[in-house]
């Protein structure tokens, strides 16, 4: 028998003697998804530090020899942030959400590529369709990750060569190969009895990992990890746990339930206790109505609400038009328009207003978002603006006639960016 150190299979971990649980849930997470899609387009960049971000500027320049000249991170100037990065770039300390200017200090020679969401969405559809051919019960969690219920997939419960997990391992390998065949990309898969453990496990052996984790494996594989590795424990909860002397999942599991209830309340305390012990009864949900749809943009430079209204106006209108287009494409109308502003000191304010009727009309969204704008302080420069539609209802959403005071045609008489003080 091969030792774990010489096992040729990609990062497979399991307790071979574990009994099969009632449920078998997989979490499939694409490896550095956006960056990996770009490397399909530019295979010469394989193994190099590559950063994706900064909008659609800095596209590669074609060279006479058929190659491409790529921008370097050190040459970037602006307010953009990293969308994702290759593993080689991450090893240099850069990560998603980091400002590109800050990242340039850490990795000045990293290649900088613009985002191409059309390509990412296309590959997302391809990998999900490939998975559905094998296991159709899928919960879509975003462009690059899904949960899959393998409980009733034929062969998943078959033992192979005396290994009770041999069948589900084979299914996991089939899923990975199907994704590779459909997209040319690798993914990492965690298979466990529930969604919480599977989400955590898919990250244990990245990239190109297949992790099988059963309840008997929790003390050895999970309890030594930081508590923050549990999806749902954010920075604030992590600080509160650390104040109690709890830093690892194992320490959280050992904490008295009464202590957690006293510190975090009934709901959060019980959840933390259950999560540390690997308990999660949530089903795989094949359809979930969105709560809201939004659009926002970060400016290249801080803009003043009054001094830069000629610049802000078209941006504001375009966001409303894009939001209306998103609503139409996804088949929703809404009744609650929201506004989001981030100031130059990074404070965020939000406002919302309920409409008298359902709509997805761009002019109406612009009108009501403008009314939200009248209720916020406009004495500082802005870094970001966003608009949102909530209280969504599925349907074609032919808007009802607007009341006279809400007539969208009145927008024509408004300034490009109406910053007058509210009455």
What residues are annotated to the active site?
145
Dist. CA 205–CA 21, nearest whole Å: 22
Structure tokens, 15: 């307790």
Give Cα 334 to chain centroid, integer Å. Answer: 23
Task: Tell me the H-state helices in 184-299.
Answer: 195-201, 235-243, 249-254, 257-276
At 109, is the secondary structure helix, strand, or coil?
Answer: coil
Give the C-alpha distances (Å, rounded to integers) separating 319 from 47, 294, 335, 387: 37, 9, 17, 7
Dist. CA 223–CA 242, nearest whole Å: 15
Q: Dihedral through CA 395, CA 397, CA 398, CA 400, nearest 10? A: 130
- DSSP per-residue codes, 170-192: HHHHHHHHHHHHHHS--EEEEEE
What φ, ψ does residue 243 adopt, rounded to 5°? Answer: -65, -25
Structure tokens, 187: 């993914």
Q: 348: phi > 0 → left, psi -120 to 50 → alpha, else beta; which?
A: beta
Tell the burial category of 1 from Cβ atoms under 10 Å away from its Cβ (0-12, 13-18, 19+). Answer: exposed
Dist. CA 89–CA 4, nearest whole Å: 28
- CB of 222 within 8 A of CB of 200? yes
Dist. CA 224–CA 25, nearest whole Å: 23
Residue 192 CB contacts under 8 Å (≥ 6 apart), including other chains? 24, 25, 198, 201, 212, 213, 214, 278
Give the C-alpha distances (Å, rounded to integers) separating 376 from 299, 302, 304, 320, 381: 19, 17, 14, 18, 13
**What angle, rounded to 10 degrees, do the helices at 309-330 and 362-373 form?**
130
Q: Pairing between strand 210-212 and 12-13? A: parallel
């Amino acid at each position: 028998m091969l030792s774990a150190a010489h096992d040729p299979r990609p990062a497979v971990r399991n307790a071979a003697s574990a009994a099969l649980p009632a449920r078998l849930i997989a979490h499939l997470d694409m490896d550095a998804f956006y960056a990996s899609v770009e490397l399909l387009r530019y295979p010469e960049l394989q193994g190099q530090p590559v950063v994706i971000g900064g909008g659609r500027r800095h596209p590669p320049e074609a060279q006479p020899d058929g190659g491409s000249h790529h921008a370097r991170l050190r040459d970037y100037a602006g307010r953009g942030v990293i969308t994702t990065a290759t593993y080689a770039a991450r090893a240099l300390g850069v990560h998603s959400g980091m400002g590109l200017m800050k990242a340039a200090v850490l990795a000045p020679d990293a290649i900088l590529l613009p985002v191409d969401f059309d390509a990412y969405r296309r590959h997302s559809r391809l990998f999900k369709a490939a998975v559905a051919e094998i296991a159709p019960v899928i919960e879509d969690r975003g462009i690059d990750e899904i949960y899959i219920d393998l409980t009733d997939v034929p062969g998943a419960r078959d033992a192979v060569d005396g290994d009770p997990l041999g069948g589900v391992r084979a299914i996991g390998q089939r899923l990975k190969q199907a994704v590779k065949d459909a997209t040319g990309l690798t993914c990492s898969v965690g298979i466990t009895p529930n969604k919480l453990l599977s989400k955590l496990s898919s990250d244990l052996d990245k990239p190109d990992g297949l992790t099988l984790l059963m309840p008997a494996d929790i003390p050895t594989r999970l309890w030594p990890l930081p508590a923050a590795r549990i999806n749902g424990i954010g920075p604030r909860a992590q600080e509160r746990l650390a104040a109690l002397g709890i830093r690892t999942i194992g320490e959280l599991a050992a904490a008295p339930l009464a202590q957690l209830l006293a510190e975090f309340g009934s709901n959060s305390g019980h959840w933390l206790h259950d999560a540390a012990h690997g308990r999660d009864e949530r089903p795989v949900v094949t359809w979930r109505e969105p709560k809201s749809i939004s659009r926002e943009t970060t400016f290249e430079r801080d803009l003043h609400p009054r001094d830069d209204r000629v610049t802000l106006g078209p941006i504001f209108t375009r966001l409303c038009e894009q939001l209306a287009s998103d609503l139409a494409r996804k088949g929703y109308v809404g009744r609650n328009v929201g506004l989001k502003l981030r100031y130059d000191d990074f404070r965020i304010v939000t406002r919302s207003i309920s409409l008298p009727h359902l709509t997805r009309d761009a002019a109406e969204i612009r009108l009501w978002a403008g009314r939200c704008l009248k209720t916020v302080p406009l004495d500082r420069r802005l870094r970001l603006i966003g608009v949102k539609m909530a209280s969504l209802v599925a349907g074609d959403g032919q808007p009802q006639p607007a009341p006279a005071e809400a007539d969208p045609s009145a927008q024509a008489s408004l300034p490009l960016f109406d910053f007058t003080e509210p009455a």
